[in-house]
């Protein structure tokens, strides 16, 4: 059997995406409480997210050039995107207030976001980016992809805070010279 570079690059990309999800899952978490979730989008689902980003760009900035439109182009150029997210939860601390509320109970009561959960998200996303680098697959952590993903209403993923990591195997990273 003959495998073309296209076949092998697709296999490498999807294996890297799987590894990224695994390292996000095993990344350190506050008090050992795991609220991290991951999704991998390819094909039509990835393109639907890029289209939604263009809608958000127009809604937020009109026709003016902006980072959301630029990042939508990056997502279109990517073969896949790994979404790393954190479900709403509180660390359960009585002494903190990093979220802006007096304590975790007040944060939960007012629908706030626990600062430690977003720290956990950052650690998980960075671990995923390191896995992509280890697999020699180009990526970049993008807030705009994640923020738009929150509007996509993925089943069972209500109120998740997302970060997006588009993946590319190509002769030149689409995430480097971004204008």
Instruction: Report how far apart, in Å, the C-alpha atoms of 47 and of each of 41, 52, 93, 160, 166 are.
Output: 9, 9, 40, 20, 12
**What is the mean predicted confidence (pLDDT) over 48-52?**
98
Digit-coded pLDDT (tens) for 86-99? 999 999 888 899 99
pLDDT at residue 179 above 80? no
Question: Do the beta carbons of residue 163 and residue 121 sit within 8 Å?
Answer: yes
Choose the weakest-confidence range: 57-61, 119-123, 159-163, 173-177.
173-177
Share of the chain above pLDDT 70, in %: 99
> Average pLDDT, stretch 96-115?
92
**Quick one: pLDDT at residue 4?**
96
Q: What is the pLDDT of residues 131-152, one digit of tens each?
A: 999 999 999 999 999 999 999 9
């Amino acid at each position: 059997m003959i495998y073309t570079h296209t076949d092998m690059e697709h296999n490498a990309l999807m294996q890297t995406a799987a590894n990224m999800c695994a390292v996000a899952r095993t990344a350190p978490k506050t008090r050992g409480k795991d609220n991290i979730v991951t999704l991998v989008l390819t094909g039509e689902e990835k393109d639907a997210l890029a289209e939604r980003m263009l809608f958000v760009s127009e809604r937020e900035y009109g026709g003016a050039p902006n980072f959301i439109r630029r990042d939508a182009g990056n997502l279109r150029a990517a073969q896949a995107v790994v979404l790393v997210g954190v479900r709403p939860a509180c660390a359960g601390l009585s002494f903190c207030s990093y979220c802006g509320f007096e304590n975790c109970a007040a944060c939960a009561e007012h629908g706030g976001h626990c600062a430690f959960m977003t720290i956990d998200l950052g650690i998980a996303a960075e671990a995923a980016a390191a896995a992509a680098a280890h697999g020699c697959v180009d990526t970049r952590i993008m807030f705009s992809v994640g923020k738009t993903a929150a509007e996509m209403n993925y089943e069972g993923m209500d109120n998740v805070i997302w970060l997006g990591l588009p993946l590319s195997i190509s002769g030149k990273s689409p995430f480097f010279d971004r204008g």
